[in-house]
Amino acid sequence: MAYVNPSGEFRRDQRYISTRITADGRDGYPVEPGRYRLIVSRACPWANRAIIVRRLLGLEDVLSMGVAGPTHDERSWTFDLDPDGRDPVLGIERLQQAFFARQPGYDKGITVPAIVDVPTGQVVTNDFAQITLDLSLEWTKYHREGAPRLYPEHLRDEIDRINDAVFTDVNNGVYRAGFAGTQGAYEQAYQRLFARLDALSDLLSTRRYLAGDTITEADVRLFTTLVRFDPVYHGHFKCNRRKLSEMPVLWAYARDLFQTPGFGDTIDFVHIKQHYYLVHTDINPTRIVPAGPDTSVWLTEHGREELGGRPFGDGTPPPPPKPGERVAAGHGAAA
């Protein structure tokens, strides 16, 4: 849920269900293989983070994943990708049902990602920022051999600083521009967005990843916005100073990540475009979905190896996605 204040500024409702799933179960929800189901949409950048982190850490066999369709109505995300329109594990047609099972009459955002307790059918949390951190820190017993350290203790202060700035000016900044209700609010968001992208370009001109020479949580969070920039945010949200493909450092950085196992193989460009252009009828009343841009450019050489670095640190790349979790043919980058 979100709103535009009297000054025309977009405000995101960040009142999430903050219950945590932890190794010691202090909130009443201990980490247990098979007990929980991660609900996502491949269209959503916030959910895309959880998809990537789950893949990188190798949690597919202990935390199942349900994928909602790319569009939703005012009530909630729906499971229209499943044959009978129901999630095969939870047996529900709408994510809303899991929220109402936990809190009848729940009046805040029905958002993805959300983690649902399978035995009770109740949502545990939809706190997207904490979900990925907890997958890294609380689910360690079930990480695959060779899983990367995405939130290492010695880098947490730096990662947190980067994440705070990126969220405010970039992740949420594109929405602040796209949904602005006045010219002034739009231009303020636009200027902050591109000032931050310029600063990130400077940072990434001398280091391969945001927090040094290995992939961290910070890279996951920036990537899911960058990969949507040219297909959606540049035109749909009027973030049009330059396309990502016209920002050399960020474009090379984004392609480097896209071509890294666990990143690009989670991206569904068809779902991404369908979501934004079909759902946001106030911005796109015709509901016409653009045919472009060409996605084959995501597979071109990026040259970032020259900066050194070890993508997974002392770890290893994740194996290919499981057959039931692969992006549909023709929905990813075209070779």
- Contact partners, residue 164, CB within 8 Å, separation at least 6: none
For the chain, count helices (H), then strands (E). Answer: 9, 6
Please report where in the chains the tokens 């099972």 appear, as a residue. Answer: 101
**Residue stretches of the annotated binding site for glutathione:** 77
User: 12 pairs with which residues across the strands?
Assistant: 2
**Catalytic residue (choose from 36, 151, 175, 253):** 175
Judged on CB neighbours under 10 Å (0-12, 13-18, 19+), 274 is: middle
Judged on CB neighbours under 10 Å (0-12, 13-18, 19+), 68 is: buried
Closest by Cα among 261, 160, 259, 242 to 201? 242
CA–CA distance, 36 with 1 (Å, rounded to integer): 24
Residues 302, 255 contacting (CB under 8 angstroms): yes
Q: Is the dihedral of CA 56, 61, 64, 69 positive or negative?
A: positive
**Residue stretches of the annotated binding site:** 77
**Catalytic residue (choose from 29, 36, 44, 239):** 44
DSSP string, 265-317: GG--HHHHHHHHHHH-TTT-TT-PPP----SGGGGS---GGGG---TTTTS-P
To the query of whether residue 175 is one of the catalytic residues in this protein, the response is yes
DSSP string, 111-141: -SSEEEETTTTEEEE--HHHHHHHHHHT-GG
CB atoms within 10 A of CB 272: 23
To the query of whether residue 44 is one of the catalytic residues in this protein, the response is yes
Using alpha carbons only, what angle is made at residue 65 by residues 226 and 215, rounded to the nearest 5 degrees? 40
Residues 144, 135 contacting (CB under 8 angstroms): no
Annotated active-site positions, please?
44, 175
